[in-house]
């Protein structure tokens, strides 16, 4: 008998205030909830300690269900144990929140209310606060009573714990921090999945003077200004709006810096193919110089489409920079020497176009650039027909100057070979001797004689 009593005593739980234990519902009634927690007596949860449960949740409680309770009083005078569902949920919630805070986890919660400073949320039975500055998209100019935040009530937000103080019963949450962490995770996932050369669907999230940022599903990539269109002279703000859906070509993925380079124009190769279909290798066409680089000059043809005049294709002589021959904005004749459809590139040549271009009315200057445009080209591009550069001298004029200089030199040389005039004779005898081709010295006898 003593052994049986000892076994029974060891099976009975020794409860203390603040314990959170699992119990089994013995009786569920509106006035109280009777729970077996393994103590000498059953515990009672009064209605005032079940306020965190909704009406539907209370109605769903059935005999035999498991429930988590907090021990308010281990043993009253009548031997009953006083329990609380609200505090159990709160205590458990604190533990859950502490774990989430330490691990930096992101979770979802429903907004239950608001005040003028931000939003109120109940997480696992714990009341928490989201400051207005931590709400994504919330404007700081809300009304002073916070009524402008009413639209958030009932909405589920993705949140992260940024501050906890159990002693002061304080929990601060942030939607911004959660979004940053979520996007960082999504970016890592995307960087692992993305492959250079593939085409993805995205949404324009930001527009800048140097290009646009596109969201690929948790991570943004940059479409540089030069990759927006086959035409270089474009304005991003005129082409796109925030939230515009776009197709983008993945150009480059930098795993170290976690940057993604995108292109919109390369995602539409049919546009380039359609433009260059009107051109052929060997064709001479006018082009406007759009950019100078050390290795050559980019020129835009009708279409619009751009090609590269390599520095070796500008003139026959060796130069160190394209600016020695052409300048940005200048219109020049070019010969199409290469069409790379797979790489969407055009190879152009100014020096190879010169002979045929001169026959069509183009006038070159002494540097190899253009001094005068044909009338139709000048009208089409709205440029002056003759160069306004004072240092630009047409080849014909330069040759004329050279020829004139040569004639002057010849005349000077001829003048040097003309015999000098003889001095006028002083006497009649000297004149006679001069006509005879003799000198007075020749008629004189030798000194020896």
How far apart, in Å, are the Cα atoms of 84 and each of 61, 93, 115, 181?
15, 14, 28, 36
| pLDDT attached to residue 447 | 46
110: helix, strand or coil: strand
Reported as a single tens digit per residue, the pLDDT across 105-129 is 999 999 999 998 899 998 887 899 9
Higher pLDDT, 367 or 90: 367
pLDDT of 257 strictly over 60 = yes
395: helix, strand or coil: helix
Cβ neighbours around 217 below 10 Å, total = 13
| 2-85 is a CATH 2.40.50.140 domain | yes
Q: Which residues, 6+ apart, have CB-to-CB distance to 92 below 8 Å? A: 20, 68, 124, 125
Selection from 153, 145, 144, 83 nearest residue 122 by Cα:
153
Give the tokens for residue 273.
Answer: 């193919």
Give the tokens for residue 192.
Answer: 């692992």
Higher pLDDT, 337 or 343: 337
Give the tokens for residue 32.
Answer: 């109280």
What are phi and psi for residue 145, nearest 5 degrees? -90, 0
Q: Which residues, 6+ apart, have CB-to-CB distance to 96 below 8 Å? A: 123, 124
Matching CATH number, 104-179, of 2.40.50.140, 1.20.5.50, 3.90.1150.140, 1.20.120.790: 2.40.50.140
Q: CA-CA distance, 111 to 128, in Å (whole number)?
A: 10
pLDDT of 409 strictly over 60 = no
Q: CA-CA distance, 370 to 314, in Å (whole number)?
A: 11
Q: What is the mean pLDDT of residues 337-346?
A: 85
Q: CA-CA distance, 284 to 298, in Å (whole number)?
A: 16
How far apart, in Å, are the Cα atoms of 245 and each of 189, 207, 217, 248?
21, 13, 12, 10
Selection from 71, 69, 68 nearest residue 17 by Cα:
71
Residue showing tokens 């109120």: 120
pLDDT of 212 strictly over 80 = yes
Ranges 185-199, 379-393, 429-443: which has the least confidence: 429-443
Return the CA Rg of the chain. Answer: 48
Does residue 34 contact residue 72 with C-beta atoms inside 8 Å? no
Q: Which residues, 6+ apart, have CB-to-CB distance to 207 below 8 Å? A: 213, 236, 237, 240, 241, 242
Note whether 104-179 and 279-381 share their fold: yes
Cβ neighbours around 131 below 10 Å, total = 17
Residue ranges covered by each domain of the chain: 2-85, 104-179, 197-267, 279-381
pLDDT band at 255 (very low <50, low <70, confident <90, very high): confident
pLDDT > 90: what percent of the chain?
39
Please tell me the pTM assigned to this model: 0.47
The H-assigned helical ranges of 112-235 are: 175-193
- The HSE-up count of residue 48 (CA atoms within 13 Å, CB side) is 2
Cβ neighbours around 408 below 10 Å, total = 10
Q: Which residues, 6+ apart, have CB-to-CB distance to 223 below 8 Å? A: 211, 212, 213, 214, 248, 262, 263, 264
Q: What is the mean pLDDT of residues 424-437?
A: 54
Mean pLDDT of the chain: 82
- The HSE-up count of residue 218 (CA atoms within 13 Å, CB side) is 16
Ranges 152-166, 204-218, 269-283, 327-341: which has the least confidence: 269-283
Give the tokens for residue 429.
Answer: 């005898």
Cβ neighbours around 386 below 10 Å, total = 14
How far apart, in Å, are the Cα atoms of 289 and each of 308, 319, 334, 429, 431?
10, 17, 10, 83, 78
- To which CATH superfamily is domain 197-267 assigned? Nucleic acid-binding proteins (2.40.50.140)
Under CATH, what is the fold of the domain 279-381? OB fold (Dihydrolipoamide Acetyltransferase, E2P) (2.40.50)
> CA dihedral defined by 436, 437, 442, 443, rounded to 10 degrees?
10
């Amino acid at each position: 008998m003593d052994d049986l009593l000892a076994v029974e005593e060891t099976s009975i739980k020794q409860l203390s205030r603040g314990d959170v234990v699992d119990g089994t519902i013995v009786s569920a009634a509106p006035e109280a909830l009777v729970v077996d927690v393994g103590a000498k007596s059953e515990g009672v949860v009064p209605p005032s300690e079940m306020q965190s449960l909704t009406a539907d949740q209370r109605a769903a409680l059935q005999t035999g269900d498991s429930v988590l309770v907090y021990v308010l009083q281990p043993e009253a005078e009548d031997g009953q144990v006083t329990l609380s569902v609200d505090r159990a949920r709160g205590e458990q919630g604190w533990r859950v929140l502490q774990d989430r805070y330490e691990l930096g986890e992101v979770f979802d919660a429903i907004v239950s209310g608001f005040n003028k400073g931000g939003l109120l949320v109940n997480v696992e039975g714990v009341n928490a606060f989201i400051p207005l500055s931590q709400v994504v998209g919330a404007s700081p100019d809300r009304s002073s009573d916070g009524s402008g935040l009413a639209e958030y009530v009932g909405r589920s937000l993705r949140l992260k714990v940024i501050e906890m103080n159990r002693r002061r019963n304080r929990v601060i949450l942030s939607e911004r921090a959660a979004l940053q962490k979520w996007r960082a995770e999504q970016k890592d996932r995307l960087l692992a999945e993305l492959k250079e050369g593939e085409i993805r669907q995205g949404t324009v999230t930001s527009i800048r003077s140097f290009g646009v940022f596109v969201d690929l599903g948790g991570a943004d990539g940059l479409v540089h200004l030069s990759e927006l269109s086959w035409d270089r002279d474009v304005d991003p703000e005129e082409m796109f709006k925030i939230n515009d859906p776009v197709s983008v070509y993945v150009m480059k993925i930098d795993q170290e810096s976690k940057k993604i380079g995108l292109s919109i124009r390369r995602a539409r190769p049919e546009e380039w193919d359609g433009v260059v279909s009107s051109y052929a290798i060997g064709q001479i066409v006018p082009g406007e110089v759009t950019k100078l680089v050390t290795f050559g000059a980019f020129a835009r043809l009708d279409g619009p489409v751009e090609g590269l005049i390599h520095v070796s294709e500008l003139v026959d002589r060796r130069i160190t920079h394209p600016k020695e021959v052409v300048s940005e904005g200048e219109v020049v004749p070019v010969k199409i020497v290469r069409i790379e459809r797979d790489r969407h590139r055009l190879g152009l040549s100014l020096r190879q176009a010169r002979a045929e271009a001169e026959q069509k009315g183009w006038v070159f200057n002494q540097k190899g650039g253009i001094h005068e445009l044909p009338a139709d080209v000048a009208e089409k591009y709205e440029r002056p027909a003759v160069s306004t550069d004072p240092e630009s001298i047409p080849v014909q004029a330069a040759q004329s100057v050279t020829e004139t200089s040569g004639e002057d030199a010849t005349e000077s040389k001829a003048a040097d070979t003309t015999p000098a005039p003889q001095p006028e004779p002083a006497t009649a005898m000297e004149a006679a001797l001069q006509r005879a081709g003799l000198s007075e010295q020749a008629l004189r006898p030798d000194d020896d004689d």
